[in-house]
A and B are shown apart, each in its own frame.
Chain A
Amino acid sequence: MKIEIISFGKISEFIENQHLELKDISNIEQLKHHLETTFPLLGTIKYKLALNKQMVQGNPDLSNSDQIAIMPPFSGG
């Protein structure tokens, strides 16, 4: 399964926009674990995922060519 990753803010400093080939990963929780293992800095900050431009709640299944956005909170003004 191939998915697209889009990252924002501070997260884009260590996770570039990219297509990921996934093996043995079928849902969001597994993907989060995979991302935090591959990019350890992700585990040190708060972030939220969106799946095909819908904010993720719960643990939805992934499908081929899904788009995942990774967003940190912003506070600056």
Chain B
Amino acid sequence: MFKQTKVWLVVTVALSLLALGSACSKSESETSTNDASSSSAKVYASKGDEGTVKGVVSFNGAPPAPKKIDTSADPVCAQNNPNLTTEDTVVSDGKLANAFVYVKEGTLADGSKFADTGFPTPSEAVTLDQKGCHYMPHVMGIQTNQTLRVTNSDPTQHNVHPTPKNNPEWNQTQANGAAPIEKKFARAEVLIPVKCNQHPWMKAYVGVLKHPYYAVSGQDGSFTLKNVPPGTYTVAAWKEGGATGSEKTMQVTVAANGTAQADFAFGDATASTKPGLQMMPALEIHFGRH
């Protein structure tokens, strides 16, 4: 009997080890190094003729009602923010807030590729605060190697956990009253989800770009990309929702000292929306000047 049991145990252990070996490692498979912020890139020098890309992000049809978040797992959250709701589709008067709009690719007026152009990194930090057991802002942008300062304004403990694909992942506890956490992302990545594993409803999205041409739509759906070098660009708007969000793109041409209009629409009866952060064919072109 012992011999049979021993054989049985050895077989089960061997089988499990075999299965474990075949289980592919997520961390190993997700080490893409598509770093656009190459140090050898030609740094853009302002010529004083930069333009602007302006637009409005709309939401067609009836937006999904915000979902109530149950914060009772942490009494501090339940007390400080009992009416917390989801922020994935914030719509007022048909205008969508929290859409991340950015220049995805393009060609400058002098013919050089936008992707091959470098831009200086701002010295000031960008702040992501935890207040009322949710992240403020919900969606934000930052340049590669710019400092992200995470603060905790709540009288409870959080942990800050970005889950990037192209940058190193980190997870750090931040007690109430603790010093800000300061981190940098070396590689461009749109967008990095940030979560708090202690409060699983807490989500934020950080768009990391090698350039400064990004914005988040406000409550009126409007956005402005300032000081854009003259050229032709693919501008993308990303909206949170589902597992990966959805993105729309369009081509715009920014004339010297000009303003290009780029309006996006999500929701029903819009042009095709592709899940995930993938490039879409050009949808419409608007031109404008000051």
Asked if chains A and B come from one complex, the reply is: no
Query: A residues bordering B, Cβ < 8 Å?
Result: none
Query: B residues bordering A, Cβ < 8 Å?
Result: none
